[in-house]
Structure 1
């Protein structure tokens, strides 16, 4: 006699299938990014800001072994001898090429062996009980970790010299967006989450935040918008820059976003080895916090705070609740947002009307990470989980928060509560921004 599995068993099997899918998707991407180049390109350092691609690959496997094979699975180590080599806190990126790293073939063999063991662990693990396995959290954490390193490897490809090796179809066309700005009313909203099963510790807990009324750009600042700042000699006028930003601009000698060049009287950019005319209708990308802040001042605006950004992205005034994503609670699709390295570039503004928030703010998810004015810090009631080095050690004014994900961010590592952070000078990341401002009295009615 056969019996129907009880609900708990059915839920666990559905969760296992989902975990296997996100792990497989991440590994397919890691493989594509590393198979696209030869062994020389895998082992060399393309920028002092980045690790060799082969380090990222083996590091992905090592983290997977530590958390899923050894901890969740209770299995014997696969390569305990390499733990220190792939500890990101023990070796700065600039020093990693000199380490005795696994070669390309050995690294590929290692991550394959680890993954085989992980899938066996997944088949037998009880996905409830202690916090690390409840809702398959550890598996989700590792899938997010791999996808985060895949985005880092994609950024390394952008810094790589040589002929193009990556390809993808173009994004959907943009459209005219009738309102340049949106008024977000004053009032409280729920920021962060206490219910998202794979949310990381810095996204937790959910808490009420009062936000004064503000006005935010409907779409990210475009290359065309930013070009006006460049051609108005905004990079040469200290009045638009903070003292720290101006000192960095002078010291680094920057005069335009990274990968922009003036050629035969026109602006071009280099994108994954392709030189192309500057796409005026795409969100500007590869700008630092300091550049974003200077543009906003020049435009008579400012950068939004992190709370303002999240309220614009999640708050539904009709219900008073915060959504998982701007468009609702359902996972992103190709109709909602430009994610997952699907297009290898930001989409033109107006390309994703289905992804708009209830207030009409667009392209908050995907395309470009958006700088905010906020320092990275824990929320009220923050608790470390599962280790301090994921978030807590980075809580400091020297790191600025970015929100929303980029075209290189996978959906598993992007949601309305997801928080990214980096130094305000960073430009190799897929970073852009939108502006905000305080409302004028007549706008408040």
Structure 2
């Protein structure tokens, strides 16, 4: 557990030490907090849950609880708060972590005490820090100036069949046994999925560029009413961070202006853009259940796996995670990460929009606090699945559910398409699996 906490902290330090004091306290977008707020918020949550609740220790900085309560102040308003400065934040972060490691040395993981059973509270805090690390990585993408982050290129891709036929069936969606699963992933419950066809890999930049060049952003036929209204209001013409000059398309990535890599999954598109592309392509977005069925169901054993490749935790051969490469990998880069049904790159690279609203599973129980999931359920938020290149392995379970407003584009989000099968593709009509 200490290793998980230290791994998360090393990433946080990397993201905050990469910039100077001015960049730490600056708000790079009204959609995001200053990096220094995220840093202190991470420590404050760690103090609340692990030092005070689990450890029963005296508060270190009860006076700042309200400043770093995400529900008390909108992101746009946080720069005006009397926040801790960078040096004071680092001192607080260090003091909290010292207390937490001492608590960890003395805690008894009592199965009768739900918060510490299977080290849940520690796992929750490790995940919380990694979630904010991905948020801070998104802030880095929004900052202006010279690049400050670097990483090696991902592995090369390979040619894949365009689609996979999924026979459907009943599977166990969600989990009741994953020790660090959060409340919206629970409980496991049977779900019937009808046959469908799904893209083998996420939609690439090259795929999406064809939609752009075909005038997709100027044609209301492809957009929902809400999507078309948003396109007009926001003057959208292409994914965020794309630009065109003299017939060449470019992408801005962490301060690097580079030619658009056509074989990488498209990224920084909102739900409405994903939905419009799917309609233009004669398809649709998959439901959340369809996504999870393709990612976890093993038709040979009839069992639902933890991950597409099995039950082992993600390795570098399985998926592009943890900002290891600072970009999505080309389509076909991770054959070892394929699901038993032949669908690839379901974990890592880009979060994938689904058509589903964020709703509780049958038997849902808000725990250990209402504000993690309960207050967000409803039609305002769409579900994203699978994680991105910026998501850590401690989060990237096959059951993990992310959600956001359908207009959001600063997140590392892309999508893959699905469609209903044609009659000749159904069992008994000669279909055996992968479709070219």
> If the TM-score is normalised by the length of the shorter chain, which range does it land in?
over 0.9
Q: Tell me the secondary structure at the aligned position of residue 311 of structure 1.
A: helix
Residue 372 of structure 1 corresponds to which residue in structure 2?
354
Equivalences for 1:92-131 in 2 at 5 Å? 92-128=74-110, 129-131=112-114
Residue 417 of structure 1 corresponds to which residue in structure 2?
399
Aligned mates of 2:271, 2:11 — CA distance in 1: 29
Whether 1:161 and 2:144 are equivalent positions in the alignment is yes
Residue 215 of structure 2 corresponds to which residue in structure 1?
233
Deviations 1:103-134 (A, max 9, x none): 00000110110000000000110112311100
Deviation at 1:382, TM superposition (A): 0.1
Deviation at 1:377, TM superposition (A): 0.7
Aligned mates of 1:265, 1:374 — CA distance in 2: 36
Residue 329 of structure 1 corresponds to which residue in structure 2?
311
Q: Tell me the secondary structure at the aligned position of residue 331 of structure 2.
A: coil
User: Which of 261, 276, 279 does residue 294 from structure 1 map onto?
Assistant: 276
Residue 15 of structure 1 corresponds to which residue in structure 2?
none
Aligned mates of 2:57, 2:145 — CA distance in 1: 43
Equivalences for 1:44-63 in 2 at 5 Å? 44-63=26-45
Aligned mates of 1:291, 1:265 — CA distance in 2: 22
Residue 175 of structure 1 corresponds to which residue in structure 2?
158
User: Which of 94, 119, 140 does residue 136 from structure 1 map onto?
Assistant: 119
Deviation at 1:187, TM superposition (A): 1.2
Structure 2 unaligned regions, length at least 5? 430-436
Deviations 1:264-306 (A, max 9, x none): 2200000000000000000000000000000000000000000
Aligned mates of 2:225, 2:202 — CA distance in 1: 25
Aligned length: 426
State the TM-score, normalized to the length of structure 2.
Answer: 0.97
Deviations 1:158-194 (A, max 9, x none): 00000000000000000111x2111111210000000
Residue 338 of structure 2 corresponds to which residue in structure 1?
356
Residue 54 of structure 2 corresponds to which residue in structure 1?
72
Deviations 1:79-121 (A, max 9, x none): 0000000000000000000000000000011011000000000
Deviation at 1:263, TM superposition (A): 1.6
Whether 1:146 and 2:124 are equivalent positions in the alignment is no
Aligned mates of 1:277, 1:112 — CA distance in 2: 41
Aligned mates of 1:223, 1:340 — CA distance in 2: 22
User: Which of 252, 277, 281 does residue 270 from structure 1 map onto?
Assistant: 252
Residue 387 of structure 2 corresponds to which residue in structure 1?
405
Whether 1:30 and 2:12 are equivalent positions in the alignment is yes
Aligned mates of 2:395, 2:85 — CA distance in 1: 28
User: Which of 346, 360, 367 does residue 385 from structure 1 map onto?
Assistant: 367
Aligned mates of 2:377, 2:78 — CA distance in 1: 25
Aligned mates of 1:275, 1:371 — CA distance in 2: 26
State the TM-score, normalized to the length of structure 1.
Answer: 0.95
Q: Tell me the secondary structure at the aligned position of residue 298 of structure 2.
A: coil
Deviations 1:307-358 (A, max 9, x none): 0000000000001110000000000000000000000000000000000000
Aligned mates of 1:143, 1:120 — CA distance in 2: 16
Residue 188 of structure 1 corresponds to which residue in structure 2?
170
Deviation at 1:248, TM superposition (A): 0.2
Q: Tell me the secondary structure at the aligned position of residue 165 of structure 2.
A: strand
Aligned mates of 1:193, 1:110 — CA distance in 2: 36
Aligned mates of 2:360, 2:386 — CA distance in 1: 18
Aligned mates of 2:86, 2:335 — CA distance in 1: 43
Aligned mates of 2:222, 2:267 — CA distance in 1: 20
